[in-house]
């Protein structure tokens, strides 16, 4: 499990499409597809249903999505907080 995989998952969930998500992430389809497969493998469950149109979230995927967003938001908050602390001490 890596933050990259989580970001990839969120992008695919939001786009419903590996190709579009890949473009959004400045990546090609194969690595992105592998991220999702690795995640599903690690969690032991399918997160998406593969349809002829693209990818649709399964219930496990919807549950994971909520956590995934929180994780990424928390990472952002961590970075901003540290920058804030540093700025408050005039940038050393």
Partner DNA sequence: AATGGTTACGGATCCCGTAACGATC
Partner DNA sequence: GATCGTTACGGGATCCGTAACCATT
Decide: is 3 part of the binding site for its own copies (CB under 8 A): yes
Nearest distance in Å: CB 39, DNA: 11
List binders of its own copies among 40-79 (CB under 8 A).
43-47, 59-60, 63-64, 67-68, 70-71, 74-75, 77-79
Q: What's the chain look like in SS3? A: CCHHHHHHHHHHHHHCCHHHHHHHCCCCHHHHHHHHHHHHHHHCCCCEEEECCEEEECHHHHHHHHHHHHHHHHHHHHHHHHHHHHHHCCCC
CB of 18 to its own copies, least distance (A): 20
Binding stretches for DNA (CB under 7 A): 2, 4, 17-19, 26-31, 33-37, 50, 52-55
């Amino acid at each position: 499990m890596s933050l990259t995989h989580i970001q990839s998952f969120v992008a695919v969930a939001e786009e419903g499409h590996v190709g579009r998500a890949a473009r959004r992430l400045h990546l090609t389809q194969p690595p992105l597809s592998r991220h999702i497969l690795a995640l599903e493998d690690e969690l032991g469950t399918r997160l998406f249903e593969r349809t002829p149109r693209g990818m649709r979230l399964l219930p496990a995927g919807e549950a994971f999505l909520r956590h995934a967003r929180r994780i990424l938001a928390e990472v952002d908050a961590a970075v901003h907080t540290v920058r804030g602390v540093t700025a408050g001490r005039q940038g050393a």
